[in-house]
Structure 1
Amino acid sequence: MKETKESDSDHYSSDDDHYSDDFENSPKKSPTKDTSTKDTSTIDTSEAKEKEQDPGPEQKQEEQEETKDFTKEDSLPPSSGDWKEIPFNSIEIEEQIGGGGVGLVHRGYYQDREVAVKTLFDPKVNEALKAEFMNELIQTSRCQHPNVVSVIGACNQPPHLCFVMEICDCSLFDLLHTSHTNSFTPRQRLDMCTQIARGMEYLHYGLKPPLVHRDIKSHNVLVKDEGRTLKICDFGLVGTSTVTAGTPNYMAPELFQSQPFSKAVDVYAYSIMCAEIFTQQLPFRGYDVEDIRKVVVEGERPELLSIDVPDRVMDIIVRGWSGKPEDRPNFHEITEEMEKALEETPEVSALEEMDMLMSGGGGDALDGLM
């Protein structure tokens, strides 16, 4: 098996280096064994039976999409995005704030609006590099959703290939692991998971053809509006035929085994990231690639204490990181369950309210983000 390499992320904040350094230099932790082989979905069995006996055309199409083999070159039909052509000289480029993959991300201004500009300044832009750049631009520009980063426009004239996007405050990784503010209520954590689920549901079911992200991780979720809004970004791996591409710490076992894959790989990565949100611990911290491959294939998962996670969410996470793709829930169900859990969780628990009163505090955990 070829060595799996972590893909560079294109998030738009300044602390890119902490991620890989932490993985390489930190002590190992005991992961949790994945023993889930059973679907504990709350769907009414009589309704499911009725659908099974007489599936409609929409259900048949959805089932075919769920099991589609995305390793085939023709699995993602050609698609085109919709963006405004922007002359390069109308963009003001400032300091670099992120980067990876095929380009760098800079802070910039376009028509007096602060933006993020992903650039390709290499004077030797070849056809392969331009094709990779255009693929990401096309896939990103297809998306119109509150929880997916939006494209404002692009310049696709070499050597100044760039696209202009909305700018965000930082990445979810920064918020969880490098921000001086690192205290969140259970409801805030739930809200993070719910927003990401909504964005993923849109990518999988709101777009035709669907978009399988392939690199869901905390680096590739951006934080905006002082922590109130989360947005999925970085579509550089969409459509790649390389099965082992991605970030090892979030990769599903079927990818490590070079098996055909489907939307379920995003469900697995999402579940790993949900555990990261609730524990604020990097998944498989300190493990090298081969160690991660070994333990993931054997069924081990990051440590997650049930006392910290609502039952609905724990069920989604455990089923979502199942070693069997067919046992994982889809993002229709995930979003529904996360929203129900959010409704059931108060803004502040009685214990937290008492702690706040005793300490004389009461500020929002995200107040210090900016």
Structure 2
Amino acid sequence: MDSGKEEDGKISATPGSEVKDRSMSKLMGKGSFNNRDMFFRADQIDLKSLDIQLEKKLSKIWLRDVIGSMRPKEEWEIDLSKLEIRYVVARGTYGTVYRGTYDGQDIAVKLLDWGEDGHATDAETAALRSSFQQEVAVWHKLDHPNVTKFVGASMGTADLKIPSNVQHSFPTRACCVVVEYLPGGTLKQYLIKNSRRKLPYKIVIQLALDLARGLSYLHSKKIVHRDVKTENMLLTANRTVKIADFGVARVEAQNPQDMTGETGTLGYMGPEVLEGKPYNRKCDVYSFGICLWEIYACDMPYFNLSFTEVSYGVVRQNLRPEIPRCCPNSLANIMKKCWDPNPDKRPNMEEVVRLLEAIDTSRGGGMIPEDQVRGCFCLVPTRGP
């Protein structure tokens, strides 16, 4: 028998370049193994070459990890090892909000899912992440008692530890935003709870002033929120209003033509936004006017109208929420000024703050007169154009 062949014909081991090349090709990943490729002679393997290849591969991995760890962190980046998630608070279109702690502080965590696992194009994802980084860079510098305190953010969540009781699949590269936790819930929830009895006038003005001061501060920093609504305002345990959810906020463009598009929530959007015209911070003033009505009335604007009816009515018919007959003129006038169809005629939020501060609440008034136990129900049942 030829000493260079196996008896069962499994594979030829006769020295030769063909066998050596084929064996090395399999080892270096240039082909796929099968049953006939499982045997080869060790003295025909170029171990030195393999060592060099392995060293190059490991060096690349090590260099990549070192460069990644040496990348200077942004001021707002958090250490995910200090973040502990406890349970889900709410789920939305663009992410999930959790309750948790960060370095011992009570916080809320929002994981933003922008379709990085195949639901958005690479260009769309890159644009969203870039925009997010720009806004976070601004948000982390904000410091005002009526703006939710920003703790930090992370552009990745690969190292995020989520308890098994809230575990669910989400993109490993999703963005993570951490803010202070506010136990009072949203302003909208608070108003719904008081929809039957309504609110004392002093509380109405206090809530309105909190929101107005927060917006005035944002505008002084050239930040347009673009989605002002009671659902995006949070309450502390002492009922202080804090502006939250900066998901679509942006730095105001110097050229109004650079800010267009229907951004916001139907019912709170000014006519210029609904029409896709250029807009500025005055779109927030319009939204505040709707919020002011909502705070006073403890009711929902246009609850019985369709999307088309609201859009057409606001733009073409000057549709606005109906102001209750018992509403003091001083407050009603602020509402009307804020939701003027002409943005240039709307006051700045700084002026709105002064107007609200000038209102006298010492003699009561509003939805709950001092001599009544229950609130005033002077809203007309049928609302619409």
TM range (shorter): 0.5 to 0.7
Alignment counterpart, residue 305 of structure 2, candidates 287, 290, 294: 287
AA paired with 2:361? Answer: T
Distance change (3 Å), C-alpha of 1:178 and 1:131: farther
**1:7 is matched with which residue?**
none
**1:124 is matched with which residue?**
117
Deviation at 1:99, TM superposition (A): 4.2
**1:4 is matched with which residue?**
none
CA distance in 1, matches of 2:196, 2:140: 33
CA distance in 1, matches of 2:273, 2:153: 33
CA distance in 1, matches of 2:298, 2:307: 21
Alignment counterpart, residue 202 of structure 2, candidates 187, 210, 226: 187
| Kept after mapping to 2: 8 A contact 1:97/1:106 | yes
Given the alignment of the two structures, is residue 222 of structure 1 paired with residue 245 of structure 2, yes or no? no
CA distance in 1, matches of 2:103, 2:339: 44
**2:13 is matched with which residue?**
none
CA distance in 1, matches of 2:101, 2:196: 28
CA distance in 2, matches of 1:354, 1:172: 27
| Kept after mapping to 1: 8 A contact 2:100/2:107 | yes
CA distance in 2, matches of 1:347, 1:224: 27
Deviation at 1:172, TM superposition (A): 0.5
Distance change (3 Å), C-alpha of 1:329 and 1:156: same
Distance change (3 Å), C-alpha of 1:347 and 1:166: farther
3-state SS, counterpart of residue 155 of structure 2: strand
CA distance in 1, matches of 2:245, 2:261: 18
**1:346 is matched with which residue?**
362
Identity %: 29
Q: How does 1:1-370 map to 2 (within 5 A)?
A: 83-100=75-92, 102-120=94-112, 124=117, 126-158=125-157, 159=173, 161-168=175-182, 169-178=184-193, 183-205=198-220, 207=221, 210-227=222-239, 229-239=240-250, 241-297=259-315, 298-308=317-327, 310-341=328-359, 344-346=360-362, 354-355=371-372
Q: Highest relative contact order (Cα 8 Å, sep 6+), 1 or 2?
A: 1
| Kept after mapping to 1: 8 A contact 2:76/2:152 | yes
Unmatched runs of 5 consecutive residues or more in structure 2? 1-73, 119-124, 158-172, 251-257, 375-385
Deviation digits for residues 223-267 of structure 1 (CA, Å, limit 9, x no counterpart): 11242x100111222239551121111011111222111211111
| Kept after mapping to 2: 8 A contact 1:306/1:314 | no
Unmatched runs of 5 consecutive residues or more in structure 1? 1-81, 360-370
- Aligned Cα RMSD in Å? 2.7
CA distance in 1, matches of 2:199, 2:241: 15
Length-normalised TM-score, structure 1 = 0.66
| Kept after mapping to 2: 8 A contact 1:102/1:132 | no
CA distance in 1, matches of 2:260, 2:277: 11
AA paired with 1:103? Answer: G
| Kept after mapping to 2: 8 A contact 1:249/1:292 | yes
| Kept after mapping to 1: 8 A contact 2:260/2:277 | no
| Kept after mapping to 2: 8 A contact 1:176/1:182 | no
AA paired with 1:106? Answer: Y
CA distance in 1, matches of 2:95, 2:348: 32
Does 230-239 or 167-176 show the bigger shift?
A: 230-239
CA distance in 1, matches of 2:264, 2:199: 29
Alignment size in residue pairs: 269
Distance change (3 Å), C-alpha of 1:195 and 1:291: same
AA paired with 1:161? Answer: C
CA distance in 2, matches of 1:196, 1:136: 20
CA distance in 1, matches of 2:80, 2:200: 44
Distance change (3 Å), C-alpha of 1:287 and 1:246: same
3-state SS, counterpart of residue 84 of structure 2: strand
Length-normalised TM-score, structure 2 = 0.64
| Kept after mapping to 2: 8 A contact 1:316/1:334 | yes
Deviation at 1:117, TM superposition (A): 0.8
CA distance in 2, matches of 1:84, 1:215: 23
| Kept after mapping to 2: 8 A contact 1:106/1:117 | yes
Deviation digits for residues 21-42 of structure 1 (CA, Å, limit 9, x no counterpart): xxxxxxxxxxxxxxxxxxxxxx
Deviation at 1:347, TM superposition (A): 7.7
3-state SS, counterpart of residue 151 of structure 2: strand
**2:3 is matched with which residue?**
none
AA paired with 1:345? Answer: T
Deviation at 1:111, TM superposition (A): 2.0
**2:69 is matched with which residue?**
none
Deviation at 1:84, TM superposition (A): 4.2
| Kept after mapping to 1: 8 A contact 2:76/2:137 | no
Distance change (3 Å), C-alpha of 1:214 and 1:101: farther
| Kept after mapping to 2: 8 A contact 1:88/1:160 | no
Structure with max Cα Rg: 2
